[in-house]
Amino acid sequence: MPLDHLNKIRLDKSSFKKIFEQYFAGLVGFANSYLGSVDLSEDLVQDVFVRLWEKQDEYQNETSLKVYLYRAVRNKCLNQIKHEQVRRNYKEETLPRLESEEFFLDQVLSEEVSGLLYKFIAELPLQRQKIIRYSLLGLKNKEIADIMGLKVNTIKSHKLNAYRELREKLGEHAFVIALLLGINS
C-alpha cells in the first residue's frame, strides 16, 4: 500500500509499520547487492529502521523518506565493507607475523629479560625500587619527587645508584641475555 507522495510523513506506530512493511524487503535486496549476505543485510536494514524510529523526524514526502532509507542503507553497507577490509588486511598482514617463530622468540626473550630486570629491581632498597618503577612508568624526576615527597636531586641520586646496581647485577647475567639473544639470531 503506497504512502501518499504529496503529504508530509510523520512517524507514528501505524505509519512506521507501513513503511517497514513496504520497504524492508527491497532494502534488504539492495543491501545484499553490496554485501552478498542476506542475514547481514537484514541486520543492517533493521538497524536503519531502528535509527529511523529513534530520530522521529518528519519527512516532506515519500520520496524524501525513500532517499533517506536507501542512503542510510548504502552508507551502512559501505561502512561494513570498509570494516571487513580492515579485518582482512589485519589477518593478511598481522596474523602471519604473530604466528611466526621469530615473533614467538622475541616475546619469550622480552618476557625473560623483563622478568630478570624486575627480579633485580625487587632486590633494591625499597625507596630505589619505587623510584625505578615510577621511572619505568614514564614519570619524570619532578613527578616522582612530588609523589614521594622528596627533592628532585634526591630522586636523581637514588636513580643513579639504582642504575649502577642494576648494571652490576645484569652484568652477572649477561650470558643469559646473550644466550636468549643468540636463540633469536
Is there a single domain that holds both residue 93 and residue 145?
no
**CATH of residue 168:** 1.10.10.10
Cα R_g (the chain), whole angstroms: 31
pLDDT digit string (tens) for 45-93? 999 999 988 887 777 788 888 888 999 999 999 999 999 999 888 888 8
Distance, in Å, from the CA atom of 89 to the CA atom of 55, rounded to the nearest integer, reads 35
Amino acid letter, residue 114:
S
Domain boundary among 52, 82, 98: 98
Domain boundary among 63, 98, 133: 98
- Under DSSP, is residue 36 helix (H, G, I), strand (E, B) or coil? coil
Q: What is the mean pLDDT of the chain?
A: 84
The predicted model scores a pTM of 0.51
Distance, in Å, from the CA atom of 65 to the CA atom of 70, rounded to the nearest integer, reads 9
Is there a single domain that holds both residue 28 and residue 84?
yes
Instruction: Tell me how long the chain is.
Output: 185
Amino acid letter, residue 154:
T
Is 22 within 8 Å of 2 (Cβ atoms)? yes
28: which residues sit within 8 A by CB, 6+ positions away? Answer: 38, 41, 42, 45
